[in-house]
Structure 1
């Protein structure tokens, strides 16, 4: 059952690259609208308990997710989709694994740590190699662009690890349903702040923005099952499972490389 939950998360997030289009601003705004609307509908049907501390932490996690996702969208333009996704997945994999092991005490035995870090190193090597492209139109993965992607990935690290923080230290009985709406509201507020600071208000009038709301629905559903997966599998394993979506996204980005529209994680 735990892996089935993770599988739904994988599929939902893997669909996002096949959905989004146009500029990074329309992508992030559309996702914020779609994700928050979906979370609100789920909330109205389930009516989970309101706990202020849970809402505050979840809201911050959602807002910080915006930083990571904007960094990824911008990197699609700079590096290319099939170059960005493996690098982003690698940065997230290393960061979230270290957070899970060092902060939350996952992989408790010495044997588990040795095997885990060896496996992690092999995965990272594979991700770096898969990001190489012979296509001259594939983007420019220079040091500056890679460092920009790494810096913005910090938003993803916080977003991925906060559910475990809540369930461990703040509200042990919390479920994904308790966490989903405030997190998606944080996503919406984060995207709105981005629009206001970049003077991109016109994106709300673009058809592509509302099309990208479909990706927000996929993201919200995937996030709900990621939250369930964190509870059942732990931060490290849940995140590693979730990054199987990057394999599908990479193939999707490669197969559409002749299309000028950027795609998303």
Structure 2
């Protein structure tokens, strides 16, 4: 069951791009609407689960609020960087680079800082699994030759700026994932608070979600006002429609945070599994959104899917190697 919970975020995260495309609107409206839905889900989770099961001590814990708010703001930094990179170098370059960067940084952060890889064999096979998932993610985004020529025409200065934006995005998303466990690792969150109940970490990770969603909303509003510079989008129809996207994303979000806190799964496995959303997004784009792909691209998509699946299976079995 632990592995099933760890795999489910990929389904929900992968579905968000498909849903927001079907709903329409600009990319920044998808991001902002997502935070609206995340806040609704976060507050609902607090009232329905956290209060009855963990109690008001978790809901009103100021340290949990600090962790959640900063985690949400880091997510907003990641989104702003990704949004900017897509404008600078295009979606087909920005998303695979961002995905690969998140896999590498989250896995290494979990291994080096959180100490989840504690044997030479785990390091060896962990790095192999990360490499497989990264190569697979890049394969799913291979462009046809005519499109590749268009990519090469991006000015060098613009391409460099795009890479900087991807790096900022990767750092933001990495901190968003790792921050709750990192603050526990350094003692800001006590073991008693972090591990309850029965060492699963469910109380802490579910209590973080509401303040995290508020931090996300604050960050998303700053993106709309100062990055996109389109304040009118805050109350437009497609922004509110994308609240559906936010609820779907939020379900995946709470599941991945529960998996990160679970000692049987951990940060490295949970975040790598979540990047299987590339498979869901690509296949959904072809089958549901009817995006056309050449025969060459379909072969690379098939190869990439196999590599990602192989890397995820290997990552999931590190503990028994």
TM range (shorter): 0.7 to 0.9
Counterpart-to-counterpart distance in 2, 1:7 and 1:96: 16
1:196 to 225, 233, 246: 225
Partner of 1:109: 119
Bigger mean CA offset, 90-99 vs 146-155: 146-155
1:34 to 34, 37, 54: 37
Shift of 1:190: 0.7
Q: Is the 8 A contact 1:13 1:219 kept in 2?
A: yes
Q: Is the 8 A contact 1:38 1:220 kept in 2?
A: yes
Counterpart-to-counterpart distance in 1, 2:223 and 2:230: 8
SS at match of 1:140: helix
Counterpart-to-counterpart distance in 2, 1:140 and 1:184: 35
Partner of 1:97: 107
SS at match of 1:19: helix
Higher relative contact order (CA 8 A, sep 6+): 1
Counterpart-to-counterpart distance in 1, 2:132 and 2:9: 23
Shift of 1:151: 2.3
Partner of 2:274: 242
Bigger mean CA offset, 237-246 vs 123-132: 123-132
In 2 relative to 1, CA 78–59 (structure 1 residues): closer, same or farther, beyond 3 Å? same
Q: Deviations over 1:141-163 (max 9, x none)?
A: 86433442222221100001012
Shift of 1:76: 4.3
Using the size of structure 1 for normalisation, the TM-score is 0.87
Partner of 1:158: 175
Counterpart-to-counterpart distance in 2, 1:250 and 1:136: 20
Superposition RMSD on alpha carbons, in Å?
2.3
Q: Is the 8 A contact 1:28 1:70 kept in 2?
A: no
Counterpart-to-counterpart distance in 1, 2:15 and 2:254: 15
Larger Rg: 2
In 2 relative to 1, CA 135–60 (structure 1 residues): closer, same or farther, beyond 3 Å? farther
Alignment of 1:182 with 2:220, yes or no, is: no
Partner of 2:95: 85
Unaligned runs of 5+ in 1: 259-265
Q: Is the 8 A contact 2:68 2:215 kept in 1?
A: yes
Q: Is the 8 A contact 1:82 1:251 kept in 2?
A: no
Counterpart-to-counterpart distance in 2, 1:94 and 1:73: 20
Aligned length: 258
Using the size of structure 2 for normalisation, the TM-score is 0.73
Partner of 2:151: 140
Shift of 1:136: 4.6
Counterpart-to-counterpart distance in 1, 2:146 and 2:280: 22
Shift of 1:75: 4.0
Partner of 1:125: 135
